Structure 1
């Protein structure tokens, strides 16, 4: 009986040792948050770190290289030390709760805009009456602010007519104002400093 018990204990010790060796050999790099990452923010290299973790099939949708996650937009809040998965970050920003996203035809250039930029959308309004700044025979042009916090959620593109189209997220009442204004006047995006 003692010999049988000794053999079983020796077998368990060998099995446990092999498991430890397997776990130390089969590791994989995993991207973690080196500091808290807020939902909707652009992920920077400073906010990430690599950690070696034991290989596990459950970790197949995590980032294994920091460069793969840098520049993406956080879709959820990520706590410091939390693993960053492909479902937590993507190339376009999150539309905040209570906002709507609409396509806006811009008269201004969108080349310097980046995903997640917050801009002011304004329209040009022409008044027929003269102002002190305008001569009596010319129309006065003023800018009317339509939305002060529009978030660029998709890379700007051009339509068949060469117009710049950009998708912005904004509160619904401001979206309705922008949609109505773009039917009658030019919309420009002003980047805040």
Structure 2
């Protein structure tokens, strides 16, 4: 008599994935293991985990569970998340992207006649490591709103600056 054991596919980390990192297809693999009802909360298809953000460090060979990965990044310890009104397009931003938030400022000698002059305007960096934590949206006025995690003192600077100046998100190279 031959005994058959029911198996199920589970997603495992093919290489270590750092907390806060976006999970890519090449960092995952499928493994068949014996069926166990306790494994309901694990990813069973690679596509279910691709694009998610690691909420913890995931060691190579670990089964990827729903508690380990989700659609939004972790707000790092010591950071806060704030909603920012952007003057720049957010179409190319992906959840988990780290950007520099800057504001346009005019030099004191600028006049209405010199505003189009590039020498009369400069960018002031407000936060060099803002992490996009949610998909950008538009409010009723058509403004682009995006939630970024950043250190509290930089968040206060960004919130104050957006009251008087346009905020743009600059994607690093």
TM-score by length of 2: 0.93
Q: Which has the higher contact order (CA 8 A, sep 6+)?
A: 2
Instruction: Name which one, 1 or 2, has greater alpha-carbon Rg.
Output: 1
Asked if 1:45 corresponds to 2:21, the answer is: no
SS at match of 1:42: coil
Q: 1:175 aligns with which of 129, 149, 155?
A: 155
How many angstroms apart in 1 are the aligned matches of 2:65 and 2:38? 11
Q: 1:166 aligns with which of 128, 146, 171?
A: 146
Question: Unmatched 5+ residue regions in structure 2?
Answer: none
Runs of 4+ residues over 2 Å off in structure 1: none
Asked if 1:57 corresponds to 2:37, the answer is: yes
Q: CA deviation at 1:81?
A: 0.5
Q: Name whichever of 24-33 and 111-120 sits farther off.
A: 24-33
Q: 1:109 aligns with which of 84, 89, 98?
A: 89
SS at match of 1:25: coil
How many angstroms apart in 1 are the aligned matches of 2:11 and 2:102? 41
After superposition, the CA RMSD in angstroms is 1.6
Q: CA deviation at 1:127?
A: 2.2
What's 1:74 paired with? 54
What's 1:127 paired with? 107
How many angstroms apart in 2 are the aligned matches of 1:178 and 1:122? 8
Choose between structure 1 and 2: higher helix proportion: 1
Question: Unmatched 5+ residue regions in structure 1?
Answer: 1-16
- In 2 relative to 1, CA 136–104 (structure 1 residues): closer, same or farther, beyond 3 Å? closer
How many angstroms apart in 1 are the aligned matches of 2:38 and 2:58? 18
Give CA deviations for 1:65-96 in whole Å, capped at 9, x if unaligned: 11110111111111010010011111111111
